[in-house]
């Protein structure tokens, strides 16, 4: 068959036109896709970053609202610390680091006391990140200097990250587990890249809070070894004086690089900050009465209620006051070591908790100043209450196989309310029933299991002043047939045993965030349950808890976050991992009348070492009357 030449040309022309059209369509589609990618990858460059919503302070802010920008510089702030210290390395497991040793260092950005989840530039001038927060670039202030005058560079940031990842306390490995890599792009420009699929909401802020070390300094000094050699940092304070195990004094640096940064105006006003160490609580209080240090936050209800009647207070030389605490009141309690086989049954743990009689303790020991803690987010809107809401159930139902049925059928757990006498027999009977159900029967006055093992429980304690609280609790447990005893050690031993989880029950307090996230992995995540030195003191390992932590990290709005936190609070309370103690919604303070402070304090910090100042006129008066 022959094809006419004119027809063949027409066919060629038709194919050419079709191919051209197809090419143009493909190019248009590719351009649209590229345009969409660019839009989704819109880069935000800012002087700060917040988890939700807008920043309170604009780019050109002059100072924080709650500080006195004209606060005088000078004087000394001194307080007490418990036990002893043998290290100035606060980020490693070895040794007991001195209180305040983090003052040597700074981070790329820092938070404020009037916002729950915002950070502003410190070592870094600005942060850049895409809307999906898959990475973050920090532009370091070229003026930022370590205390030896050398510049803080991107290489120092990279070094700090990988050093903490390899040699720091286990918490850093958990915090950085979703970090892909950290790289220096330029001398003052560093990029953090996060793993695909990671919950990136908080990761830029986790990077921003990284303490920054001098790579040069640690070339000649082993980061992993505890030492009393002053570290090289960029912070406002350096070491002035050190008496190993007794006291440490930090001095405000005259050559501090960031003096005029807006974030720093009106802050860090004391020339020196001193920590005096004492072996026990009572000797520390007696030393305060004698003028050994000038500021004390009182944690003993007995001392607060009975001992503040000394002459300096009566003469007005010492101020006794209460300031409101608007943070969650903290998860203070007796934490049970779930790693031990005897504590595996939650009914046993619940029975143990029932024998702590808060009502009697508050009346007989605490002078009625405390309230019972129920929640891990006590004194906040994140506290679970009543039965689960519909929004909570959406999160809890898929996790049903890992949860106790009471999570769905009963209100959020609250401790038993006892009569105000040391042993409430009705509560004793309830606790005994729980022990029987858990397989611990009474034989010759002692609780034993099917193997004949006697139920023994030791309370790790390093503070003699706490014995008056634990001993009545022990007596109540003994009436239940439990061989309970006080496991008394010194502060250094207590710290080491907690690091290696060598205890039955210990006392600890965590301050919970109003915008919780990555830190929950360290405190309650399965991956940290057996990591030496981790913050997961009870050894919580539960798939429902892990899933809820992930939901919290993924939350894209504060409303979603609040629901997920309440669900987690409800679940943690059902596990009976602790015996909640008590809380006070105020800070009980006593201090020598030499301080000034802003009239309107921010909601999330009283700021005694942050934005208070030394008042020379008040000090001069006290000197004139012989009080100084």
b/e per residue 54-63 (b: at least 16 CB within 10 A): ebebeeebeb
Structure tokens at 481: 């047939």
Low-confidence ranges of the chain (pLDDT < 50): 1-18, 21-23, 25-39
Region 332-577: CATH code: 3.10.105.10
Please give, one letter per residue, the 3-state secondary structure of 323-384: EECCCCCCEEEEEECCCCHHHCCHHHHHHHHHCCCHHHHHHHCCCCCCEECCCCCCCCCCCC
Amino acid 13: pLDDT: 47
DSSP states along 501-531: T--SEEEEEEPPPSS--THHHHHH-GGGTTS
Predicted structure pTM score: 0.83
Q: CA nearest 376: which of 569, 586, 577, 537?
A: 569
Amino acid 328: pLDDT: 84
DSSP three-state, residue 409 = helix
Contacts of residue 6, Cβ cutoff 8 Å, sequence gap at least 6: none
Domain boundaries, the chain: 45-62+71-220, 332-577
Amino acid 16: pLDDT: 47
Amino acid 8: pLDDT: 36
pLDDT tens for each residue of 495-505 = 999 999 999 99
Amino acid 465: pLDDT: 82
Amino acid 9: pLDDT: 41
Return the CATH number of 45-62+71-220, one of 3.40.190.10, 3.40.50.300, 3.30.1280.10, 3.30.1390.10.
3.40.190.10
């Amino acid at each position: 068959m022959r094809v006419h030449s004119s027809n063949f040309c027409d066919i060629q022309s038709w194919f050419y036109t079709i191919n051209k059209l197809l090419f143009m369509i493909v190019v248009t589609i590719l351009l649209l896709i590229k345009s969409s990618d660019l839009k989704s990858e819109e880069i935000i460059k800012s002087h700060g970053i917040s988890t939700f919503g807008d920043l309170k302070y604009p780019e050109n802010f002059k100072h924080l609202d709650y500080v006195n920008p004209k606060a005088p510089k000078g004087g000394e702030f001194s307080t007490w610390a418990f036990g002893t210290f043998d290290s100035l390395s606060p980020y490693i497991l070895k040794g007991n680091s001195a209180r305040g040793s983090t003052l040597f260092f700074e981070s790329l950005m820092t938070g404020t006391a009037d916002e729950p989840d915002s950070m502003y530039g410190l070592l870094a001038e600005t942060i850049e990140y895409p809307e999906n927060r898959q990475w973050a670039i920090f532009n370091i202030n070229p003026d930022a200097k370590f205390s030896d005058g050398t510049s803080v560079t991107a290489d120092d940031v990279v070094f700090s990250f990988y050093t903490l990842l390899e040699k720091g306390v286990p918490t850093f490995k958990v915090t950085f587990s979703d970090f892909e890599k950290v790289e220096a792009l330029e001398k003052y420009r560093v990029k953090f890249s996060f793993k695909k699929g990671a919950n990136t909401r908080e990761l830029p802020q986790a990077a921003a809070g990284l303490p920054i070390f001098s790579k040069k300094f640690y070339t000649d000094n082993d980061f992993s070894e505890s030492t009393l050699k002053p570290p090289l940092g960029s912070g406002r304070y350096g070491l002035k004086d050190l008496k190993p195990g007794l006291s440490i004094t930090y001095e405000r640096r005259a050559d501090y690089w960031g003096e005029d940064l807006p974030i720093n105006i009106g802050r860090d006003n004391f020339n020196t900050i001193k920590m005096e160490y004492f072996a026990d609580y009572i000797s520390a209080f007696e030393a305060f009465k004698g003028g050994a240090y000038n500021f004390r936050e009182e944690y003993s209800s007995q001392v607060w209620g009975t001992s503040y009647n000394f002459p300096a207070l009566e003469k007005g030389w010492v101020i006794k006051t209460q300031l409101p605490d608007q943070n969650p009141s903290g998860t203070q309690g007796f934490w049970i070591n779930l790693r031990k086989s005897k504590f595996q049954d939650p009914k046993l743990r619940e029975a143990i908790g029932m024998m702590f009689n808060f009502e009697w303790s508050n009346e007989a020991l605490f002078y009625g100043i405390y309230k019972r803690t129920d929640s891990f987010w006590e004194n906040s809107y994140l506290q679970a209450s009543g039965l689960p809401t519909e929004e909570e159930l959406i999160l809890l139902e898929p996790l049903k196989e890992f949860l106790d049925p009471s999570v769905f059928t009963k209100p959020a757990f609250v401790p038993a309310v006892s009569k105000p006498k040391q042993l409430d027999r009705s509560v004793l009977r309830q606790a005994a029933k729980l022990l029987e159900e858990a397989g611990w029967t009474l034989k010759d006055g002692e609780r034993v299991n099917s193997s004949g093992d006697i139920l023994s429980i030791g309370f790790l304690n390093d503070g003699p002043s706490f014995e008056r609280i634990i001993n009545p609790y022990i007596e109540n447990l003994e009436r239940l047939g439990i061989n309970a005893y006080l496991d008394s050690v010194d502060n250094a031993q207590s710290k080491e045993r907690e690091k290696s989880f060598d205890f039955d029950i210990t006392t600890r307090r965590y301050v919970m965030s109003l915008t919780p996230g990555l830190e929950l992995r360290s405190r309650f995540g399965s991956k940290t349950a057996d990591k030496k030195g981790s913050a997961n003191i009870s050894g919580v390992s539960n798939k429902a808890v892990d899933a809820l932590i992930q939901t919290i990290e993924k939350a894209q709005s504060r409303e979603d976050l609040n629901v997920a936190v309440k669900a987690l609070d409800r679940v943690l309370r059902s596990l009976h991992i602790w015996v909640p103690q008590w809380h006070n919604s105020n800070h009980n303070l006593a201090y020598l009348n030499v301080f000034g402070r802003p009239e309107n304090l921010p909601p999330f910090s009283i700021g005694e070492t942050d934005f208070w100042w030394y008042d020379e006129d008040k000090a001069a008066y006290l000197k004139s009357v012989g009080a100084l």
